[in-house]
């Protein structure tokens, strides 16, 4: 059999966490709260078109030559300034690596750190793309739950005591995917102290941090890092456009060098033309002003979803109240399988889609939750969809 030749990391019996996430419902009334994509009507297409043109005019043929592995110096300097201003992380272009989306950054850190069977901690529920990336390195997962102010640090410390070899912890502290939860500042600092004490590396994955609807973003976990243990990752996908495939990471010292080496072997370097265009965009346009426009839209969409949860969902259901990002998490009573409910009732009859809880757990062992995304829908569509979903959940619980 061909599969006998494959590396164990392919693991054909375990489909990628990213497969089969979305149902394609062609009914005209269908509303999908499933895909976590940004709203493309807000993409600054004309300005980006000019930026590509400016970059080509500026650099000429050299733009299409091989570029440096770490990526465009000028863009990295701009990103260093940005994370200094909005995250209190004081770094320079030399500690920034541009990557093919935040997704590649997660993969590269995992590649630099994990051997098969190594112990890692993921907060649960966890971002599916991170689970898909980690799966390839065949780790031994330890799941630690979230509280309303972020990772449960008591549960984490218990886990660290029981498994002293834990090497890596993955967290999305700002407007978490999939729950919308934000980690408190106290916990950010305490988490770094735990990493110092128990000797592990933190991946701080923060693609939504700019999309705050209530208050300015909190200091990054990386801002408390004095030992070079935190890798901060962010992305242009949510604040500009995902198909620019531009993410970036901040790391220090030997860890930066190790990640850099992984990157060099993976693709030499990639997206140099795009990085030059983003740099030109940021030179000639006010990215913060664009982000303010995005926030104004997403904030209204977020409010419409929370109102829908309050108005249409039964009392037995609990939900998060995000103050930024794209997502809300709904917890159904124990014993209800949100995946089965979606396939048997909600999608065929109400034509509503969401992503069931199971996808967000490394051992696929929690079923009574759903991720709802509001980023691609108008407030009116959100209201209609939440009404139908709330009614469907009510009848499933009460019939």
> By the criterion CB under 6 A, which residues form the site for ligand PMP?
36, 101-103, 127, 129, 172, 177, 205, 207, 235, 237, 242, 247
Residue 233 beta carbon to ligand PMP: minimum distance, rounded to whole angstroms: 7
- Please state the length of the chain: 399
Backbone angles phi, psi at 247, to 5 degrees: -120, 180
Rounded-to-integer distance, Cα 47 and Cα 187, Å:
39
Q: Which of 65, 97, 66, 103 has the alpha carbon at shortest distance from 263?
A: 97
Nearer to ligand PMP, 177 or 347 (CB): 177
**Beta carbon nearer to ligand PMP, 205 or 210:** 205
**What is the smallest separation between the CB atom of 249 and ligand PMP, expressed in angstroms?**
11
Closer to ligand PMP by CB, 245 or 351: give it: 245
Q: SS3 string of 236-297?
A: CCCCCCHHHCEEEEECCHHHHHHHHHHHHHHHCCCCHHHHHHHHHHHHHCCHHHHHHHHHHH
Distances (CA, A) of 282 to 35, 50, 90, 239: 28, 12, 20, 12
Residues 6+ apart with CB under 8 A from 41: none
**Nearest residue (beta carbon) to ligand PMP:** 101
- Minimum separation from the CB atom of position 245 to ligand PMP (A): 7
Q: Closer to ligand PMP by CB, 217 or 390: give it.
A: 217
Q: How far is the CB of 207 from ligand PMP (least distance, A)?
A: 5
Q: Nearest distance from residue 364's CB to ligand PMP, in Å?
A: 19
CA separation for the pair 31, 300 (Å, rounded): 18
For ligand PMP, the closer of residues 207 and 390 by Cβ is 207
In the complex with ligand PMP, the residue whose CB is nearer, 235 or 331, is: 235
Token pair 């989306």 in the structure block, residue: 101
Least Å distance, CB 323 to ligand PMP, is 16
């Amino acid at each position: 059999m061909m599969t006998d030749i494959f590396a164990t990391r392919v693991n054909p019996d375990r489909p990628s966490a990213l497969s089969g996430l979305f149902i394609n419902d062609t009914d005209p009334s269908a509303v999908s709260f499933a895909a976590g994509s940004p709203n493309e009507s807000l993409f600054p297409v004309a300005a980006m078109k000019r930026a590509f043109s400016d970059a080509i005019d500026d650099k000429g043929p050299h733009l299409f030559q091989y570029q440096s592995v770490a990526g465009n110096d000028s863009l990295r300097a701009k990103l260093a300034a940005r994370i200094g201003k909005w995250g209190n992380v004081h770094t320079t272009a030399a500690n920034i690596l541009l990557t093919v989306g935040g997704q590649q950054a997660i993969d590269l850190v995992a590649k630099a750190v994990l051997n098969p069977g190594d112990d890692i901690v993921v907060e649960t529920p966890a971002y599916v793309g991170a689970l898909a990336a980690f799966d390839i390195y065949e780790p031994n997962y330890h799941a630690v739950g979230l509280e309303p102010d972020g990772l449960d640090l008591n549960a984490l410390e218990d886990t660290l005591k029981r498994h002293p070899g834990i090497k890596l912890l993955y967290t999305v502290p700002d407007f978490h995917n999939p729950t919308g939860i934000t980690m408190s500042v106290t916990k950010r600092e305490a988490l770094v102290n735990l990493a110092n004490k128990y000797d592990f590396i933190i991946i701080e994955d923060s693609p939504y941090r700019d999309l705050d609807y209530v208050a300015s973003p909190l200091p990054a976990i990386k801002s408390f890092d004095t030992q070079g243990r935190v890798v901060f990752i962010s992305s242009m996908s949510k604040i500009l456009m995902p198909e620019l495939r531009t993410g970036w990471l901040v790391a220090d010292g030997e860890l930066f060098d190790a990640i850099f080496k992984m990157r060099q072997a993976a693709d030499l370097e990639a997206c140099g033309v795009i990085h030059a265009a983003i740099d030109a965009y940021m030179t000639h346009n006010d990215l913060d002003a664009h982000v303010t426009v995005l926030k104004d839209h997403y904030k209204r969409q977020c409010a419409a979803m929370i109102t829908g949860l309050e108005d249409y969902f039964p009392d037995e259901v609990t939900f998060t109240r995000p103050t930024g990002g794209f997502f809300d998490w709904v917890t159904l009573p124990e014993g209800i399988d949100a995946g089965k409910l979606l396939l048997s009732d909600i999608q065929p009859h109400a034509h509503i889609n969401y992503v069931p809880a199971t996808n967000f757990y490394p051992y696929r062992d929690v079923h009574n939750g759903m991720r709802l995304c509001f980023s691609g829908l108008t407030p009116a569509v959100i209201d209609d969809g939440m009404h139908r979903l709330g009614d469907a959940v009510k009848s499933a619980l009460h019939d």
